[in-house]
A and B are shown apart, each in its own frame.
Chain A
Amino acid sequence: MRRLACLVLLAAAPLLIGGCAAMAVAPIAAIAYKGASKATEAARPITDSEEYYVGRAVAARILGKYKLDQNPKLTQYVNEVGETVARKSSRPNPFRGYHFAVLDTQEVNAFACPGGIIFITRGLIQTCNSEDQLAAVLAHEVGHVANKDGINSISQARWTEVWTAMGKEAVTMYGGSVAAGLVSLFEGSIDDVFKTIVVNGYSRQAEETADAAALTELTKAGYDPSAMVALLTALEAKGKGASSGIFKTHPPTSERLARVKTSVGQSPAESQGEKIRTERFKKMAS
C-alpha cells in the first residue's frame, strides 16, 4: 500500500512542482475556461455577458441610423433620471449597468438594447412636459431590459444553432472555423433584435408588462405614476395620423392609455418636490 501511495504521489509531483510555474506561462484565465471545452455545452439560456455583447452591437447599429446627441449636460441628466428608476426595477444591476443616451433626432422614440443601453430621442424628450414623464419613458425601457425582451427576440432557431456551435462537434460542422460560424450567428442575432426594437416592435404583451413595470418603478422611486397617463395623453395627441417611430413599434397609444389609467389612481396635487423636478427638466430640455 505504501508503494501505491508513493506511485500516486509520484504521478502528482509534476502538478505540485510545476503547477504554478506552468500557470505563470499560460494565463490563469485558461483555467477558467477549462469547463468550456466540454464536448457539448448543454442547451442553456443566454448569459448576462452574452446579452451584454449583443446589446453593444445593437447599440452600434442604432448609432449607424441615428446621430448621438452631443450635449453632455442633457446626457448626464437623462442618466441621473434613468439610474433613479433603474435601481428600483426588478433587475437593478445588469452585467455592466444601465447607460442612457440621447439620439439627436426629432423622431419620437426610445430603444432598450439588451443588457442595459437605453436610447431616447430628442423628439421624445421634447414631448415630455416634466421630469416625471421623462422618468416614465425611461422606466418603461428599463422594464424591457429587466424582462429581457430584446434578447428574447433572437429567434429560437438561431439560438439553437448557437448552442450547436458551442459544442465540440461544431469544429467539424464549421470545417474548423467555429469563430467565423459564431460571428455569423452573432450577426444574425443582432439583426433579430434590431428588427424587433427598431422596425417591428415588441409583442403587445411585452409592452403591457413594460408599462406595468414602469408604474412600479416610478412609484418606488418617488415619481408620480400618473405622469405615465399624462405622457401617453401627449403621445396620443402627437401620434394622430402618424405611423412612424414609437407609433409604429408600439400598440395603439389609446389602448395603453386606457390600461394605465385603470392602474393609476387620481393624480395628486403637485408637490414641492415635483415642482423642483419639473423646473430642472425644463432647464435641461430647452
Chain B
Amino acid sequence: MRRLVGYSKFTRYLLALGLALVLLGPAVCWGEVLKVSQPNQSLYPDPDFASPPVGPVPEGAEVNVERQAGDWYKVEYQGKTGWLNRQAFPPPATSSKFSLGGLLTGAPVKQTSSDEVALAGKGFTPEVESGYRAKHPEMNFAQVDRIESLRVDSATLQAFIQEGDLKP
C-alpha cells in the first residue's frame, strides 16, 4: 500500500475506476429505454410491493431506467418516477457475448445451456406458466385475466367505506 503513496491522485483514481469496472461489469446502464412486457404492472414509490402504487404502467409502455437495486428498477414513465419490479420485463435474450468479467471471475465459459440455467434460477415464472398453459389448453386463463383486470379504484372504495360507516 505504501508504494501507492508515490503516485498521483489521478493515477490512483484511474486505477480504482478501472478495477471497479473490470470486476463489476456493466451492472447498470442509465438512460436505457425498456419495454414493459407484462400486464397489470404498477409504479411504486419505494422498491417494495407493500407501498401504495404511484400508478399503473400498461403492457407495452416504454420506461426510462434510472438505476437498479436488486429486483427493482427506478424508472421514469410519463413524467412520474418510481420503482418497477423486474417481473415487468421480458426474460433475458440468449447471449453469447464475450464476458470479460466472467473470464476474470471464473464464470462458466460454456454458454450452450445458459438460457436453461437462467430459467431454472428464476423458478416459477411467466415462461413456466406459458409451458403449463401449452400443456393444458383446457385451463381458462382468459377468465383469470378478466378477474385480475377488475380493480376497485381508490375513490370508489373510499365512497363505499364512507357510505357503510366503515373505517378507512
Contact = CB atoms under 8 A, between A and B. Distances in A.
Contacts, number: 252
B145 to A, nearest CB: 9
Given A32-B71, A117-B144, A27 B34 contact: yes
Question: Which residue among A31, A162, A223 has the maximum number of chain B CB atoms within 10 Å of its CB?
Answer: A31
B139 A166 contact: no
A247 to B, nearest CB: 26
- Please classify how large the interface on chain B is, using the bins under 10, 10 to 19, 20 to 34, 35 or more: 35 or more
Question: Which residue among B95, B148, B164 has the maximum number of chain A CB atoms within 10 Å of its CB?
Answer: B164
B1 interface: no
Nearest to A189: B124
Report whether over half of chain A's contact residues are helix, strand or loop; otherwise say mixed.
helix
B120 A167 contact: yes
A269 B95 CA distance: 68
A20 B34 CA distance: 13
B40 to A, nearest CB: 6
Nearest to A116: B148
- Please classify how large the interface on chain A is, using the bins under 10, 10 to 19, 20 to 34, 35 or more: 35 or more
B123 interface: yes
A15 B25 contact: yes
A1 B114 contact: no
The 10 A-B residue pairs with the shortest CB-CB distance, nearest first, are A273-B165, A36-B121, A30-B92, A8-B18, A183-B131, A222-B166, A12-B21, A222-B167, A19-B26, A29-B89
Given A36-B118, A49-B85, A64-B138, 15 more contacts: A11-B18, A20-B31, A31-B29, A32-B68, A37-B117, A41-B123, A49-B87, A59-B147, A79-B150, A83-B157, A95-B49, A171-B117, A176-B113, A178-B117, A178-B120
